[in-house]
Amino acid sequence: MTITEKLAILADAAKYDVSCSSSSSKRVARKGNLGSAAPAGICHSFTPDGRCISLLKILMNNYCIYDCAYCVNRASNDIPRAAFTVEEVVDLTMNFYRRNYIEGLFLSSAVIKNPTYTMERMVLVLQNLRETQHFNGYIHVKAIPGASLELIDKAGSYADRMSVNIELPSQRSLQLLAPDKSKNDILLPMQNISQQIVQNRAERKTLKKSPHYVPAGQSTQMIIGASGESDLDILRLSAALYDKFSMKRVYYSAYVPINQDKNLPVVAPPMARENRLYQSDWLIRVYGFQAHELLDEKTPNLDMDYDPKTVWALNHMEQFPVEINQAPFKILIRIPGIGIRGAQKIVSARKISPLDFNDLKKMGLSVKRAQYFITCKGRYYGTVSCEPLKIRRALKPQKTASPHTGYEQLTIFDQLAALNGEI
């Protein structure tokens, strides 16, 4: 099989993993070695699905002994199979990197023979890149559940980021859809990585020279809409993951129906749901919201028509309108449509002189949503009066179905908010 054929199969097999971030590592360049890691992350290309290519995202092989219901590579599927050699992965990574196609490698694998053997092969690639090639670019490696912790540790000493996929939002779904993976096999390495990271950070505080361990932190991913959990269940689980395992990011991947299976839904969940989950995730991670402020047992699912911040504000009109010239930063960022950057601009401009409504527009802020939740120098400028029902009607989205899939898509602003957190 040619390298081209292998690449086509093993990139296709890896593409449903959503994370492609190359950010938050601090690997500095060394003269004479290839590579560096940019803290902000760099995108090298964008595919027609609107996703960024930052890393060479591939599987080492897709000969899986497991049979997870939702996965293309499951043992019972009749699909083309391929396996890279260690040298092939190293060669592709180095040569793509030298041409500035990528920030580095995102290496994952199907489970071949057994988890430990699989992980061994992956560690060989990392070792070769770091020790033989002196490759100093970004490496994200998956920890294979069930592999020996020693090996996972070793991988961590070479990688910038590690991830173990939580796969599904509950143990019940995991049993149903990924019967070969146990909850413990997933949580154990996760916990181990998180402990090592914490320990390494402490060591590096006293001993600056001690080597990095997963400097860009740990992430995980769960599939949305292949099983019946509510958005509340999902956000609660993420909150716990951020909390217990000091996760850098939790990724949500809307299920794409590839397999026929009695336990799987036939239709894909709307992409809108994935977007709304990301928006909520930002609100919880960055804006100081609690999961229970966004959802509760009475409304356990996110609204597809309105972003989660707007929904929250409409349910808490007693806190609005907010005076733009007085509200502290942490209140400003709770105003629908005013993101972190917008709030920073307001705080900085009002130091010079009080702002009126027009000033917001002059700063390039969008007032489409914010107008109903603010006053400027005591005056309210909304096009309808400040009542939840009227505002709700004024903000009702114009429905547009995507010409490609027929599914409803959110506006591009909503899609961007899900990605950059300006919500």
Partner 1 sequence: MIIYLYDGSFDGLLTAIFDSFTDKRPLDIFRQEHYQPQLFDEIISVTTENDKAQRVADSILAKLSFDTYQRLYYLYLSELPQCDYTALCYLKMCYRYGASIYLAKNNPLIHRVETYCRKVTLEAHRFTGFVRFIELAPMIFYSKIEPDHNILPLLQGHFVRRFSDQKFMIHDLKRQYALVYDLHTPYFTPLTIEEGEHLLTSKTTDPYQQLFAVFFDATTITQRRNLRLQKFWMPKRYWQHIDEAHD
In the set 60, 90, 92, 272, which binds partner 1 (CB under 8 A)? 92
Site membership for partner 1, residue 74 (CB under 8 A): no
Site string for partner 1, 245-284 (x = CB under 8 A): -----------x-----------x--x-------------
The residue to which tokens 């770091």 are assigned: 130
Which C-beta is closer to ligand SF4: that of 71 or that of 370? 71
Among partner 1, ligand SF4, none, the one that 239 touches (CB under a kind-dependent 5 to 8 A) is: none
Distance between CA 266 and CA 112 in Å, rounded? Answer: 29
Strands 55-59 and 52-53: unpaired
Q: Which of 255, 301, 322 is nearest to 69 (CA)?
A: 255
Distance between CA 60 and CA 101 in Å, rounded? Answer: 19
Bridge partner list, 376: 379
Report helix, strand or coil for 372.
helix
Q: Which of residues 294-353 bind partner 1 (CB under 8 A)?
A: 345, 348-349, 351-353
Cis amide prior to 321 (ω within 30 degrees): yes
Q: List the 374-376 sheet strands across, edge first.
A: 322-323, 374-376, 379-380
Q: Where are the beta strands (DSSP E) in 48-88?
A: 52-53, 55-59
> What residue type is 416 in one-letter code?
L
Which C-beta is closer to ligand SF4: that of 73 or that of 375? 73
Distance between CA 184 and CA 189 in Å, rounded? Answer: 9
Q: At what angle do helices 231-244 and 271-285 cross, to 10 degrees?
A: 40
Site membership for partner 1, residue 193 (CB under 8 A): no
In the set 23, 35, 62, 291, which binds partner 1 (CB under 8 A)? 35
Per the structure block, which two tokens stand in for 139? 């490496």
Site string for ligand SF4, 73-92 (x = CB under 6 A): xx------------------
Sign of the alpha-carbon dihedral angle for 296, 412, 249, 339: negative
Site membership for partner 1, residue 4 (CB under 8 A): yes
Minimum distance, C-beta of residue 144 to partner 1, in the bound complex (Å): 21
Site membership for partner 1, residue 30 (CB under 8 A): yes
Among ligand SF4, partner 1, none, the one that 110 touches (CB under a kind-dependent 5 to 8 A) is: ligand SF4
Site membership for ligand SF4, residue 129 (CB under 6 A): no
> What residue type is 289 in one-letter code?
F
Which C-beta is closer to partner 1: that of 181 or that of 273? 273
- Give the count of beta carbons closer than 10 Å to the beta carbon of residue 354: 12
Q: Could you please report the per-residue DSSP string of 253-308?
A: EE----S--TTS-SSPPPHHHHHHHHHHHHHHHTS---HHHH--SSS-S--SSS-H
Among ligand SF4, partner 1, none, the one that 73 touches (CB under a kind-dependent 5 to 8 A) is: ligand SF4
Q: Which stretch binds ligand SF4 (CB under 6 A): 61-69, 113-121, 201-209, 357-365?
A: 61-69
Which C-beta is closer to partner 1: that of 102 or that of 295? 102
Distance between CA 251 and CA 230 in Å, rounded? Answer: 16
Minimum distance, C-beta of residue 68 to ligand SF4, in the bound complex (Å): 3
Which C-beta is closer to ligand SF4: that of 71 or that of 346? 71
Site membership for ligand SF4, residue 64 (CB under 6 A): yes
Interacting residues with ligand SF4 (CB under 6 A): 64, 66, 68, 71, 73-74, 110-111, 178
Interacting residues with partner 1 (CB under 8 A): 3-4, 7-9, 11-12, 14-16, 29-36, 38, 40, 42-54, 56-58, 92, 95-96, 98-101, 256, 268, 271, 345, 348-349, 351-353, 355, 359-360, 362-364, 402, 404-405, 409, 412, 415-416
